[in-house]
Structures are given as structure tokens and as C-alpha cells.
Amino acid sequence: MTKLKIATWNINSVRLRIDIVEQFLATHKPDVLCLQETKVINDLFPRQAFEEMGYPHLAINGQKGYHGVAIVSRVPFDKSTQREFCEKGDTRHICAHLPGGVELHNYYVPAGGDIPDPVQNDKFQHKLDFLDEMAAWYKARKGKKTNKLILVGDFNIAPLEHDVWDHKKMLKVVSHTPVEVDALAKVQASHSFIDVMRAHVPNDEKLYTWWSYRAKDWDTADRGRRLDHIWASPALAKAIGPVEVLREARGWTQPSDHVPVMTTFTL
């Protein structure tokens, strides 16, 4: 059996925060790191820095100044693929085809703007359309026992009551509205994905991966949300291990507003 430690992190500009990425990799040594919101075109991605850190295998899907996803790995992978959602031209998905037939899909789901109304807010409509397309794509593959799928990334939705600091106050706030939660549930049901984080942390226990930059004392206020996720297909149900949320990273020098989430699969 092989152990595969996977981490996911919305880094909010990989070049700006390469120092804390290096700090994280040196300390926690994941086999694979999935990054979101890299905010850099492919040609300017800091490949050399990752190669020097011992992560020479890269799959990159980026654009200038916005969005962008990447997978950096110590483990060689057969190939990488990417999908464009909603014909928007933005870079929100990358997949690495790992040894053993494992597909690792890395997502940056649209945030959806500030108004939770698809009529008034095109960004919110885009988010719902993106999730619908995800659900349709994975539903088409459901039932194939050989499907070893891992989905990670910033899904920009905190689906459960204790995934936010105050459920009632957040019901009309983008990321926790019922329509978004329902849309994400359809994606999860489309392939019977396992919510790996909640497989190990009870639903009634608070669990966050994001704290706003607007909070002067984010740690004391603790008004967090669980926006970052790791899912696994049923074929990997027996392979999933415990999850670690690196809360301390939110207090590092020039941090992202998200923190790394890690788990280990025994394949």
C-alpha cells in the first residue's frame, strides 16, 4: 500500500506568497499540493521555486491577475487535463492523473459576488451554473466502480450549519445561502462523493478554513467559514485518513485568508 498526503490551499497569489508556501512545504511535506487563486499566467508561474523545493511535477492552469489553479507534486503523474466551465474562459479546474488510476481534480469555484440573487447578480448566476455543470459531468460517470476520484479546492460554499460562525446570520450571505448549499449538495450526490473532512469531524463541531481579512482580530473573533473541501469517490472510501486544518497559517506573515487543509489516502 502507498500513502499519499494531499493538501489544498487557496493561496491568493502564489508569487506574492511563495515564502509561506515554502514554509508550509518544508514543515508539513505533503506529496501533492493543490493551489487555487494563483493569479498568474502559466509562463510566469514560479516553477523553479517548486522544483528547488522538491516538487518538480506540475500541472498549471492560470491567467493574468485572476483565478488560476495548480497542482505541484513530488509524485510523478501520467498526465494532466483541464476543463473550461460555463464557456467563460476563466481558469478554475486542473486534474492530475496519478498512479493507480487516481484522478485528482482541483477546483476554484466562483465566489458569486455579494448579492445572492441570480437576476440581480450575474456572478451569482455564474456560480450556480458552474455547480450545475459540475454535477452533470460527474453524474455521467456515476456507477463505474473503477472511478477513483478526489476533488479538492476552494468551493466557496460552507454547506453545513457548523461550517459558519453563525448559521442564522449567514443564511442570506453568499457562501451559505440555501440555494448554494442545495447546488453543492447536488454535486456531491452526482457521484456519491464523501465529504472527507466531515467523515472525521462531527457535523455539530465548528470547522473553518477561511477568516476574512476585514477582521482586525480574526483569531479572537473566530468568524470563520469552511470554504475549502476534500471529497472522495466511493471507490476510495476505505482509503481516506484523518484531516488536518492548519489554522495557524492564517497568522503567518502576509497570509492568505484561507489555510491549508490536508489528508492522507492509503492506496
- Residue spans of the domains in the chain: they are 3-266
Cα–Cα nearest to 230, from 207, 212, 214, 211: 207
Written out in words, the top-level CATH class of the domain with range 3-266 is alpha beta
The model's pLDDT over 197-212, given as tens digits with 9 standing for 90+, comes to 999 999 999 999 999 9
Instruction: Look at residue 144 in the predicted model and tell me its pLDDT.
Output: 67
Beta bridge partners of 98: 102
SS3 label, residue 128: helix
pTM of the model: 0.97
For the purposes of burial, counting CB atoms within 10 Å of the CB of 22, is it exposed (0-12), middle (13-18) or buried (19 or more)? middle
The helices-and-strands tally (H runs, E runs) of the chain is 7, 14
Helix axes 178-190, 122-139, angle to 10 degrees: 20
Instruction: Look at residue 145 in the predicted model and tell me its pLDDT.
Output: 63
Instruction: Look at residue 78 in the predicted model and tell me its pLDDT.
Output: 86
Instruction: Look at residue 216 in the predicted model and tell me its pLDDT.
Output: 83
Go through 135-146 and write b for each residue having 16 or more CB atoms within 10 A of its CB, e for each that does not.
Answer: bebbeeeeeeee
Which residue numbers in the chain have pLDDT < 50?
none
Instruction: Look at residue 261 in the predicted model and tell me its pLDDT.
Output: 98
SS3 label, residue 195: strand
Instruction: Look at residue 266 in the predicted model and tell me its pLDDT.
Output: 95
Q: Which three cell numbers stand for residue 46?
A: 514560479
The model's pLDDT over 168-179, given as tens digits with 9 standing for 90+, comes to 999 999 999 999
Cα–Cα nearest to 22, from 62, 59, 52, 65: 52
